[in-house]
Amino acid sequence: MVSNSNSSGGVVADSWTDPDCPVARTLDLVGDRWSLLVVRDAMDGARSFTDFQQRTGIARNILTDRLRRLTDRGVLDRRTAPSGRRPVYVLTPAGRDLFTVIVALRQWGERHAFAAGEAHSVLVDDHGLPLPPLQVMGSDGTHADVGTTSVRKVR
């Protein structure tokens, strides 16, 4: 899939895995592990190529590709560092909107990717307390899940 941002801030693609599905389109844009780890680290203050490389351990050629793709897709903005020598990368509003996705992945991982009592990093709020579990709510304010929702297909 090839994509880029259009003048209205949306993303234009030459081909989508499943053109009518928002989940598939999102995965086409940011669905590989390195892209999401770059976004995670940008949310945690990484800005330079070196920051991302040191935090993730990603190979330089792969990181170069992911930074380019995330910039082309409107998730990151490439700017000149105050020194004027190297680029820095900052989250765009679309990139910042991935926060809930990153938190959901983190919380799923806390529940399912660690043994009971196994140490792991913790995302905390301004008060130093772990974030409560995310909950999806229906239009009536009640808890929504796979058993209480359905997808309305287009066509």
Per-residue pLDDT, 12: 56
DSSP class of 87? E
44-74 residue pLDDT tens: 999 999 999 999 999 999 999 999 999 999 9
Per-residue pLDDT, 155: 74
Per-residue pLDDT, 154: 85
The full DSSP string for 107-119 is HHHHHHSS-TT--
Q: What 3-state DSSP class applies to 80?
A: strand
Per-residue pLDDT, 7: 44
Per-residue burial over 83-96, b = 16 or more CB atoms within 10 Å of its CB, e = otherwise: eeeeebbebbebbe
Question: Tokens representing 20?
Answer: 């009518």
Per-residue pLDDT, 2: 44
- The residue extents of the domains of the chain are 3-112
Per-residue pLDDT, 62: 97
The CATH number given to 3-112 is 1.10.10.10
Residues of the chain with pLDDT under 70: 1-14
Measured CA to CA, the distance from residue 30 to residue 155 in angstroms comes to: 26
Per-residue pLDDT, 8: 46
Q: What is the pTM of this model?
A: 0.85
